[in-house]
Structure 1
Amino acid sequence: MGSEIDILAFGAHADDIEIGMGGTAAKYSAAGKKIVFCDLTEAELSSNGTVELRKQEAKQAAAVLGVQERVNLGLADRGLFVTEEAIRKAAGVIRRFQPKIIFAPYEVDRHPDHGRCAQLVREAVFSAGIRKFQTDENLPAHKARTVYFYMINGFHSPDFCVDISSYMERKKQSLLAYRSQFERKDGSAETPLTNGYIEAVEARERMMGKEIGTLYAEGFKVMKPLLLEYDLIGD
């Protein structure tokens, strides 16, 4: 995979990005945009599944959404902190792919790793644009246009929404790829993900859609105000 992609999406664990913005990824992929996913950890502390199985599921889910490449930084699950090493690794990914837009989890979330992922990405985005900041690879500085934040757990008032009515089914298929996480099997632990989680996500996206007059939508938060480059009133 080369440089100059359109979207780089970060998640703390494989399945975070799919939960928060799988429909948006599928929509922009279908429009020909180049998309890369970056998981910060291998989710080695997950109650169900294994690291190797989770990687296979993540690869399958990315293929469903039309993602060009998926990378994993191998940071510690439940050990995500804003450290120099973590910033350097995340900034290196930004410099490697040179994305126009970056996505990360919204920091208000019941899972601490999701909030710390947001904080880490903020730091990495800033550091990646500093010419003298050193990453593991000798790559030139890169400044993304902006950062948007997707929602994983919970329902927050969005700053903007993306209509995913035609891509909700593909989003669900990407989540179903994570059978170890969302399906309860003999011997597996009961977790919030095995108790109607996909149905809850679908209901949330339907509520988001209702807010903007579509069937399904994904909501996002912004780091700075959006610029609208067209006439708000019209003729």
Structure 2
Amino acid sequence: MSEQLDILIFGAHADDAEIGMAGTIAKHVAAGYKVGICDLTEAEMSSNGTVELRKQEAQAAADVLGLTIRTNLGLPDRGLFVTPEIIAAVTSEIRRHKPKIIFAPYWEDRHPDHVMCSKIVEEAVFNAKLRRYMPELPPVNVQQLYFYFINDLGQTDLIVDVTEQYEVKERALSCYESQFSSASSAVVTPLNQGYVERVKARDSLVGQRQLIPYAEGFAVKSPYLVQLFKPKEA
């Protein structure tokens, strides 16, 4: 299915994008942007839940956020590597949806799949503009690639005020009961030991330097274009 998007977010697993930037997603959807998420794997190696349940939870979260589309490439969980085949799969997704802006996980994280997802997406964004690469699909020149944080907070170049959208973020995260609820989990993991509360504390900390109750942080590798430096309104 092809649906042209303004913003496309990649995650290694369903819930990655919600952890890092559900508030930002909700804010842009409310502003009229077409936003989609592509999960690279079905998270079949997760300690709790099942593939089918995770798909249901992902769709529920997509409905909460108002996504235009959510897809899953079905790549192997804990089998993500920078290979020509995997780069091609992600490049195809970019070319099908023609997003102007792409988000990927930050390039440093405790989970190797998040790190690999970051590298794969960066490679795919580059390949997507090459006219002689996969010529069966028209090239796409992505305007900007941003990186969001999942487990580890790194150098934050930009922040988005998501105070008004924070209740939506909490509802989106609550869809993943199999991952975050200790009551329904058979196996103790970092995710069901107060993880959502720590995400909330992190988002509060990110906003603190600008006196914002809740903000989500992002990193960039290429310079961010500004037309004018404008002072804040009083």
How far did residue 201 of structure 1 move?
0.2
Matches for 1:1-235 after TM superposition, within 5 Å: 2-134=2-134, 138-185=136-183, 188-232=186-230
In 1, distance between residues paired with 2:109 and 2:126?
23
> Alignment length, in residue pairs?
233
How much identity, in percent, do the aligned residues show?
53
Going from structure 1 to structure 2, the CA distance change for 1:110 and 1:231 (only over 3 Å counts) comes to closer
In 2, distance between residues paired with 1:175 and 1:187?
15
Going from structure 1 to structure 2, the CA distance change for 1:48 and 1:29 (only over 3 Å counts) comes to same
Return the TM-score normalized by structure 1: 0.95
Structure 2: unaligned runs, 5 residues or longer: none
Going from structure 1 to structure 2, the CA distance change for 1:186 and 1:15 (only over 3 Å counts) comes to closer
How far did residue 230 of structure 1 move?
1.4
Q: Tell me the amino acid that sits aligned with residue 88 of structure 1.
A: A
In 2, distance between residues paired with 1:47 and 1:233?
49
Contact kept, 8 Å, 1:41 with 1:74, in 2: the verdict is: yes
In 1, distance between residues paired with 2:42 and 2:127?
24
Q: Tell me the amino acid that sits aligned with residue 182 of structure 1.
A: F
Return the TM-score normalized by structure 2: 0.96
Structure 1: unaligned runs, 5 residues or longer: none
How far did residue 211 of structure 1 move?
1.5
3-state DSSP of counterpart to 2:209: helix
Map Cα deviations across residues 145-195 of structure 1 (whole Å, 9 max, x no partner): 010000000222310100000011110110100000001236610000000
In 1, distance between residues paired with 2:25 and 2:173?
13
How far did residue 232 of structure 1 move?
4.2
Q: Tell me the amino acid that sits aligned with residue 91 of structure 1.
A: T
Contact kept, 8 Å, 1:4 with 1:100, in 2: the verdict is: no
